[in-house]
Homo-oligomer: A and B are copies of this chain.
């Protein structure tokens, strides 16, 4: 049976998405074939709109559909407190927490020495400019607790040295709701280090 070129091409596009293998991608391509024209038009339109309407906030780098994001333009938030994350999606997770009232700065990645990825592509200069322009009291480094995340946090902290700002790092320890015997030893050691008097 001859291959359907259109299906192969669409399968190829779907398989570029995260967590989608070739078999699922093919199923998805056939699902598109089975959709009504209206749904497909809506789908392609949504895809184009996402690229057209969304850009990064020029101040913090969070995705927004407005000129600057609603966090940066919110006067009720504490602009002296900047939480530094590697990815715009991390801000979503932070905001769901509903207990942080500062603003953000998105680096746009991490330093990954193993992959030859340096600090050049990261938005670190912009962060330093924000600090230098004054009014910033604390920088919370909230990159992941992976090797690359740690390296990045240390690198940024080093560059902020000497500036009039407190630099902190997210606390380490047991994740909430986790069973102790599932925690790895590094996490446990960190939890011991960070123990608090009650």
In the complex, what residues of B have CB within 8 A of residue A91's CB? 1
Q: When the two chains form their complex, are residues B47 and A40 in contact, meaning their CB atoms are under 8 A apart?
A: yes
Interface size bracket, A side? 35 or more
Q: Chain B nearest CB: distance from A29 CB in Å?
A: 7
Question: How would residues 3 to 38 of chain A score, 1 for a CB under 8 Å from any chain B CB and 0 otherwise?
Answer: 011110110110011111000100111111101010
CB-CB under 8 A from A47, the residues of chain B are 10, 13, 32, 40, 43-44
List the B side residues contacting A53 at CB < 8 Å. 5-6
Kindly state the separation between the CA atoms of A71 and B4 in the bound complex, as whole angstroms. 13
A70 to B51, CA, bound (A): 39
B50 and A13 form a contact (CB under 8 A) = no
Chain A residues touching B, majority SS: helix
B residues in contact with A69, CB < 8 Å:
1-2
Alpha-carbon distance A2/B63, docked complex (angstroms): 10
Contact with A50, one of B6, B46, B65, B89 (Cβ below 8 angstroms): B6
What B residues does A64 contact at CB under 8 A? Answer: 2, 4
Instruction: Knowing A28-B17, A51-B40 are in contact, say whether A46-B1 is a contact too (CB < 8 A).
Output: no
Chain B residue at smallest Cβ distance from A29: B50
Within 8 A of B (CB), among A58-100: 62-66, 69-71, 88-89, 91-92, 95
Asked if A39 and B16 make an inter-chain contact with CB atoms under 8 angstroms apart, the answer reads: yes
Mark A residues whose CB is within 8 Å of B. 1-2, 4-7, 9-10, 12-13, 16-20, 24, 27-33, 35, 37, 39-40, 42-44, 46-54, 62-66, 69-71, 88-89, 91-92, 95
Could you show 26 A-B contacts with beta carbons less than 8 Å apart?
A: A1-B62, A1-B70, A1-B92, A2-B66, A2-B70, A4-B65, A6-B49, A6-B53, A6-B54, A9-B50, A10-B46, A10-B49, A13-B42, A16-B31, A16-B43, A17-B32, A18-B27, A18-B31, A19-B24, A19-B27, A20-B28, A32-B50, A33-B50, A33-B63, A43-B47, A44-B47
